[in-house]
Structure 1
Amino acid sequence: METEPSFDYSQLQQRESRKGGVLESASKRVRMIFSVMASPNRIDILRILNTKGPLTYSELKALAGFKSKKESGKFAYHLRKLLRQLLVALNKAERRYTITNLGKLVLSLARQIEERSIIESGKMYVRTGRQTIEEFNSHKIIQSLVREANLPLEQAHKITEEVENKIYKFQTAYLTSSLIRETVNSVLIEHGHEEYRNKLARIGLPPSDISEMLSSEDATRSGAAGVMAKTAGSVFSEYLIFNTLPKDIADMHLAGEIHIAQPGAWGLLPDTLFVDLSDMEDGSLDLACRHPAVARFASIKTADDMLAALPVLIALLLREASAEVVLEGIAPPLAKAKDTDDLAAKFARALVSSSAAAAGAGQQQQQPLATLVVPAGDTAADAKQLNALLDGYRRYVDATPVPRVGLAITHGGKLKDSIDHITAAVRSGGIITIGSNDNNNNTARSSSGIRKTMAATNGKGSSSSAAMSLQALSINLPRLAYESNKDETYFRAKLALAIKPSLAAMAMRKKAVMDNARRGLLPAFSAATHSMQHATSSIVINLTGAHESVFSILGHDEANSGVEVMQKVLKTAVDVAAAQGKQLGEDSCGVAMIADDSGTRFAALDSEKYGKVSLLQSQNTTSYSQGMTLNGKELDKKQQLAAECSAIDKILNGGLAATVDVTDLGAGEAKSAIEAAAAELAFFRPRAWLAVCATCGKKYKMSADRCESCKSPHRLLTTA
């Protein structure tokens, strides 16, 4: 059995005291320590103890590489040297060795000597982003300047020579690729080469931002996946603003003249996808070699087939849209279910299974929606099936603090038998939209109001079952109104001028998204549309703050000419967009008024630019209006509100977010409001705002100060 050396420190100290009654002289002590440092094996032992902490004799011997019995004597010799110079200490009670403070000092000195020797030898080593250490090579800087920044070779040599001189003046052995890149960029700026510097700039987050994110409760609420998604979104947002967009468009966005929503996904994904499952070949989704870990389903023929496939389809397609996926064609297979009570239960379970996919799909703070289109038929059997789906949907909503799956109900005027079920789902916080299939409004809309018609016809009148919409660019109408000196004609002229670069940016985006689709970034959508051969696409410009612009800033009276002026402004926008689109070679360009995050941002920036926006203070809000919101209480009393909304909906070929607010209404009043809206409006969303407790996740009334379940005063957010 191997025995470790034994050392008696008391005898050692007595022996030293007898030699002179004092410790060894400083010079001799230093020489002895340097003799210990002369051995790489002893330096390794110090490094192991410094990293691993207290170790037993056997553990330290094995980690130091002395594994055979023949090497035991050599290891004991090196350890004895370290113990005698008090660089290592032995805890006799635990029989473990530790590095002393003097040993740590010696180890640090050895490291500094090693790094200084590298500098003096003229060699420098780079810690690269590929997690390797390589000898510094200036030729790689030249290659990077030519390949990444397209800098002429002669200039690249001159810049590299200057960078190399600066690096050697740094006198540092810990050289990183990011430090080299920063030095190159600083030299480029000094020489006035800003355009080359922008191509070489590294995109990412500073360490302080990452630390702040990790300590933020909001950022970590969705776990590690949410943190990584937020980080990726920040990287791609910066890439878009400073490397992809033309400078004039980027400046318009940064100045608050326009707003680009979802910038992290702007050049990668479309905003809204429309997919008709009934048009999939043989009812199957042929993913080929894409998503090999996803289970395949052969066909969708029965209700059980659809309910099994639905979570998979939602999970796949939500990854490929930044705002919403609208699924049509789910009703025919579900209509084959014989037991409606069983259908309600199974539909609820399918939506619950889909909820995890809906929560994890979003790349931005605003998670995307999955909207399922269900028609309201003419017969009692149709009504019974719709009610079963609504009951199942309500069970999902009741179990989900913030639901991200919605139902879009299309009807031909026969909703009477389902109004109670619709009202109950809305009052629970469900995302329900209601659209008429009369008067050529028979194509689906997203929950935000975006029309499939705009994309599906491709401007040529021919219909398509699959479509994508790109709508994440909004124009700040109040800003244009402020700068128009209350001149309505000048205001419309400025709007026309703003539409041109906005459409150009969207056309550029469309090309990037389509190129990415061809590269395979939209595999599920491509599979559902047969390699996108049957899919069409549209560009939509969003208008924010129309109400404030016309009525508050330009000063038109709602009771007199205000409504006509509003319609004239919107008609101008639609006509200009169509004309400019044709010049760009885009036949399918529309204008919409939908809700995104631009209203709050525009209002904040305008408050900084023009002082506090008094019109927002008078309305007790911090955001400009988006779309149209109708108070459910006033629908019966003020029928002209519905007429105005319908007129605007007909003008806006891109879509309108029409909301009927039933938050403060009882069940009977909410039901009456929904019935009245369904009779007057081609499309709307009845909405009951609910608060969500940030502590327990339960929903409760907005009017309550505290959670009704746990009494917490902290609100997470309001339902979608």
Structure 2
Amino acid sequence: MNVILWVGMRRVKRRKWSSMVLAASSAPIRLEVLKLLSSSGPLSYTEIMMSLQLNPVRDAGKFVYHLRNLMDAGLISLDRKTKKYGITELGGMMVKLARDVDEYVESKGGRLLVRTSRLTIEEFDRGKIVNSLVTEAGAPVGIAQEIAGEVEEKLIKLKTKYLTSPLIREFVNAVLIEKGFEEYRHRLTRLGMPLHDVARLFEDRPALTVTELERRTAHSVLKEYVLLNGVPRRVADAHLSGLIHINGLSEWTLKPDEVFHDLTVFLRRGLPPLDAPTSFGDAVALIEKLCFLTGLEVSRGVVLDSLNVYLAPFVESQDRRVLVEAFKAFLRSPGLGGYGRTLTLSLEASLPSYLKDVEAVGPGGRKEGTYQDYVEEAQTVTECLVEAVREISLKRMPTHVQVLFKMRNGVGERLAEKSLMELASKYALPYFAVCDVEEEVGFTPDGLMIGVDRVKDDLKGYLRSGNLGTVHVNIPRLHYESKGREERFFSLMESSVKAAVEALKSKRNALVKALKGRMLPLLSGEKDPYFSLEDAACVVSFVGLNEVVEARTEKPLHVAEGARYASHMVQFMGKLIKELEVSEELRIKLAQRSCEEGSERLAHVDLEKYGKDALRAEPSSPPYYTDIPLIPLSRKISLSQRVEAEASTQKNLDGGGLAVIPLRRVSVEALCGFNGQVLKAGCKAYTYTMEISHCHRCGFVSEGFLHTCPSCGAEHPIHLGRASAILQPTHMWPESRLRSSVNWVYHEL
């Protein structure tokens, strides 16, 4: 027992100590004083009176009497220097005793029952709050007990008969904030959706499948988790404030964005329970299963690189019709694509030099010469796939699968270009990428380019690897904050890029744990990881480049002055990223990527903050910033100007970009001729887009957004087009782009 307690009780006989202490704390006003000092710490005479809402004139005499009783009993003490009263150890024991009694009485009275997150109903137990504070928040036991006691008092005073775990947690967090324990409050945050938000999802259920409803609710919780615990606080604040946009936030700590498959691994050894394929049909079926399983472990997409080359040894002497039907069955598979994930079938126009001497994997996983022996078969595979896509499109366009055609040195060689251009002119389906014949490089549909290159002293590949994640920098925000000052603008750009890289680094660290813990069974592999984190790229992208160029130079991006300023910005980011690549030990690419959700979110955040000064991609439409295409389709510029502007920007992006070229009423012959002009301009990746109506009844495809089918008269045909990089029905477009599309300009050749 401390000295002060001895002094306060020195005249009291031992057998009367307990009686005196109990008597001193029995008056309600004295017990309130003890609880107040226990929770708030030392207070002055005036502060105690004000906290208890006592009248300094009317209640002064009685209050002095109560304080003297507490001091004589050794329950409180007075610091003569500060003139403040504090609770003693014995006083703290009495507060705890009082709370224990309150808890016992309340629980026996049946008034404090809690509906827990474990779907049970239990009596309130203050000890569980203490345990949560210690285990979840890392709070010391003493602080945890103090907080739990105060929360219990507040709950008892409410006299509510309906307590839930979330409500109790809210009270705990409120008390933590009152006491300045912000870090403990942060760790104790509960994740979940408000009841109203979930109810709205159920109200919208006719427009949502059950799977989609479940996905949205789960993603809501995961997004909160990532922002609270998956990335550093500074990065979370940058995302929430609109400085950056973390793409695929809900799966940020769980999955990589994209995987580039090495098909030889699975064609050689099979994919359990499937053995190594012995025929072309078996090989396609195995690839279908591979795509389905991979789709569960990536957040953005799967790329089957050089698909026609790797399938060539399985062609043998099979009839072309067999190959076409195998591909049609593959394209009809319901397990491909979906929920924002893309499946890219990447085809080689000519055999890359680095594959010529590679041992070919044939039926049964056997070695069958080299891939140089199967050049004609590779072309046959391409032709059969194109034919399968064309036939499927007569009923329903396979927008869930992206066909990408790699032209090496711009030459299609013996490929039947006319059939591919027919897909482009009628269905706007294929994507085109350009690279050298010896260049080992893969592309995604939105133009992301990852190849074999050197980082520091290491040679990095891309097969059995891919892209970990993408973060977009909000360039218009830098324009607003810099207020016209160039030095400030680029300083903010540097800090934004660093925040993006910090987010990417946190994702890499999370995926190390995910792969080691076999959360991603396919990518983790059996013994050695299939997916190489060491080779994987991280991508920094941007939105609003076009708007900022116009705002800062008063010139459009497609003219010389605007193009120079755009190049200056992109080169600045590229140089900074190369420096960070070394210092952070990450493989980082700067790319122009699709960001439909982020471009709209960031524009709305900026509109709320900056009002009429906020920039827009389309001044007369709902707010969004440009991503892909680089220049809004509403701009009335020539096709050559658009293509040259895209090509000029792509030259400064080591991670690539995609030129979207809007056309109408185009013939196959005219498109073949124009395609040469695009290649000459220097675009590394591009696609053609147009307005398409596809009849859900007869499958007839016509140009333009029509209200009825010209063939069978059915109403409301499906409207398709590109809001950004991916061809999809317009009902899946962001609202801002759907409404602005009435002003988009499509060109005749």
- Structure 1-normalised TM-score? 0.73
Distance 1:185 1:210, change over 3 A: same
Match for residue 714 of structure 2 among 704, 710, 716: 710
Alignment check: 8 A CA contact 1:433 1:683 kept? no
Matched position secondary structure for 1:305: helix
Q: Per-residue deviation at 1:180? A: 2.1
Alignment check: 8 A CA contact 1:616 1:623 kept? yes
Task: Report whether the alignment pairs 1:141 with 2:145.
Answer: no
Partner of 1:543: 542
Equivalents in 2 of 1:519, 1:565: separation in Å?
A: 46
Equivalents in 1 of 2:637, 2:420: separation in Å?
A: 19
Partner of 1:102: none
Equivalents in 2 of 1:530, 1:460: separation in Å?
A: 20
Match for residue 352 of structure 1 among 332, 337, 354: 332
Matches within 5 A, 1:489-638: 490-527=488-525, 530-532=528-530, 534=532, 536-556=535-555, 558-586=558-586, 588-597=587-596, 598-612=598-612, 613=614, 616-617=617-618, 622-628=623-629
Task: Report whether the alignment pairs 1:388 with 2:389.
Answer: no
Match for residue 202 of structure 1 among 183, 186, 190: 190
Distance 1:701 1:182, change over 3 A: farther
Match for residue 277 of structure 1 among 239, 260, 263: 263
Q: Per-residue deviation at 1:193? A: 2.1
Task: Report whether the alignment pairs 1:232 with 2:232.
Answer: no
Distance 1:457 1:630, change over 3 A: same
Distance 1:180 1:510, change over 3 A: same
Matched position secondary structure for 1:140: helix
Partner of 1:410: 406
Distance 1:615 1:311, change over 3 A: closer
Residue identity opposite 1:648 in structure 2: T
Partner of 2:472: 474
Distance 1:344 1:685, change over 3 A: farther
Q: Per-residue deviation at 1:454? A: 6.9
Partner of 1:132: 120
Equivalents in 2 of 1:167, 1:652: separation in Å?
A: 59
Q: Per-residue deviation at 1:370? A: 0.9
Partner of 2:22: none
Alignment check: 8 A CA contact 1:600 1:624 kept? yes
Equivalents in 2 of 1:632, 1:188: separation in Å?
A: 52
Distance 1:200 1:691, change over 3 A: farther
Equivalents in 2 of 1:667, 1:632: separation in Å?
A: 23
CA deviation profile, 1:20-45 (whole Å, cap 9, x unmatched)? xxxxxxxxxxxxxxxxxxxxxxxxxx
Task: Report whether the alignment pairs 1:302 with 2:275.
Answer: no
Q: Which moved more, 1:160-169 or 1:695-704?
A: 695-704
Q: Per-residue deviation at 1:681? A: 3.8
Alignment check: 8 A CA contact 1:455 1:468 kept? no
Match for residue 245 of structure 2 among 259, 267, 287: 259
Equivalents in 2 of 1:603, 1:609: separation in Å?
A: 10
Alignment check: 8 A CA contact 1:268 1:513 kept? yes
CA deviation profile, 1:197-238 (whole Å, cap 9, x unmatched)? 222222111222112101215xx5452111101111111112
Residue identity opposite 2:383 in structure 1: N
CA deviation profile, 1:371-401 (whole Å, cap 9, x unmatched)? 1222123766544431211111233445446
Distance 1:162 1:303, change over 3 A: same
Alignment check: 8 A CA contact 1:283 1:298 kept? yes
Residue identity opposite 1:185 in structure 2: N
Equivalents in 2 of 1:437, 1:575: separation in Å?
A: 23
Equivalents in 1 of 2:328, 2:537: separation in Å?
A: 33
Partner of 2:347: 374
Alignment check: 8 A CA contact 1:628 1:659 kept? yes
Residue identity opposite 1:339 in structure 2: D
Equivalents in 1 of 2:262, 2:555: separation in Å?
A: 44
Matches within 5 A, 1:308-327: 308-327=285-304
Residue identity opposite 1:377 in structure 2: S
Q: Per-residue deviation at 1:542? A: 0.4
What is the root-mean-square deviation in Å for CA atoms of aligned residues?
Answer: 3.6
Alignment check: 8 A CA contact 2:544 2:627 kept? yes
Task: Report whether the alignment pairs 1:184 with 2:184.
Answer: no
- Structure 2-normalised TM-score? 0.71
Equivalents in 1 of 2:377, 2:631: separation in Å?
A: 33
Alignment check: 8 A CA contact 2:331 2:401 kept? yes
Distance 1:396 1:332, change over 3 A: same
Distance 1:493 1:206, change over 3 A: closer
Partner of 1:341: 321
Distance 1:222 1:350, change over 3 A: farther
Structure 2 unaligned segments of length 5 or more: list them. Answer: 1-104, 352-374, 729-749
**Residue correspondences, number:** 586
Residue identity opposite 2:344 in structure 1: T
Alignment check: 8 A CA contact 2:546 2:626 kept? yes
Identity %: 24
Matched position secondary structure for 2:343: strand
CA deviation profile, 1:150-191 (whole Å, cap 9, x unmatched)? 111110000111112223333344432223222222222222
Residue identity opposite 2:320 in structure 1: T
Equivalents in 2 of 1:128, 1:223: separation in Å?
A: 29
